[in-house]
Amino acid sequence: MKKIEAIIRSEKLDELREALDAQGFSGMTVTDVRGRGKQKGITLEWRVGEYRVEFMPKIKVEIVVAANNLEKVINIVLAVCSTGNIGDGKIFISDVLDVIRISSKERGEGVL
Binding residues (CB under 8 A) for another protein: these are: 44-54
Q: Which amino acid is at 91?
A: I
Min. distance of Cβ 52 from another protein in angstroms? 6
CB 42 within 8 Å of CB 53: yes
Least distance from another protein to the Cβ atom of residue 87, Å: 18
Q: Which residues, at least 6 apart from 59, have a Cβ–Cβ distance to it below 8 Å?
A: 7, 8, 9, 10, 12, 13, 30, 31, 32, 33
Residues 6 or more apart in contact with residue 40 via CB below 8 angstroms: 54
Q: How far is the CB of 32 from another protein (least distance, A)?
A: 13
Comparing CB distances to another protein, the nearer of 43 and 82 is 43
Kindly tell me which of 50 and 98 has the beta carbon lying closer to another protein. 50
Nearer to another protein, 37 or 41 (CB): 41
